Amino acid sequence: MAQKVSFERGAHVFSPGQECAGFVRLETGTIRVSMTAANGREVVLYRVLPGEICLQTFSCLVDGHCYAAEGVVEQPVAGEFIPKSAFWRLMGEDEAFRRDVFSAVAQRFGDYQRLVEEVALTGFDTRLARVLLRLRDGRNVVHATHGELAAETASGRAFVSRRLAEFAHRGLVELARGQVSLLDISGVERIAEDDG
């Protein structure tokens, strides 16, 4: 029924317009799910981690539609692939599987609600500060380009660059090619806590 699968970093798990052949349950790794507009602007919708569900996949399986977003591996993935027919059989016969799927779907809808609230109701500096804190490594460095940060904050690259330059001017961060070092963590945290 289920088959073991693995994907390396950078692999495309699914792309817009592709049909959904089944359901991937992650054991390790991370898949970034994003949408890109006709003008090339990208927005990250969410990340799929072990124990979580890809709402794009669930929607395609339920509605029979093709994918509208792209799923790219950020951290090497290992898991199991459940074909469409087996997925529906498990949904009908396995109460624990069904409960896990519906619980994960409900959680993912909460993520979508938070994304909409952040974009519509939260100031940009707050969104940017939250992304920097979320993406930093153990040395308080964010390894991302301004374009990648734009996708994370649902904004444009030029605007991200201007705001990062202002953060740098204030001594909050230090900018280098492909990375942002957080110098004043408490200052960035204060911005992240501002709901304005």
Is residue 58 a contact partner of residue 109, using CB atoms and an 8 Å limit?
A: no
Walk me through the domains of the chain, giving residue ranges and CATH numbers: 3-121 (2.60.120.10), 124-193 (1.10.10.10)
Q: What phi, psi does 123 have (nearest 5°)? A: -65, 155
Is the model more confident about 42 or about 173? 173
pLDDT digit string, tens, across residues 6-49: 999 999 999 999 999 998 989 999 999 999 888 778 888 889 99
Kindly indicate the confidence band of residue 144, based on its pLDDT and cuts at 50, 70 and 90.
very high
How confident is the model at residue 195, as a pLDDT? 62
The predicted pLDDT at position 2 comes to 80
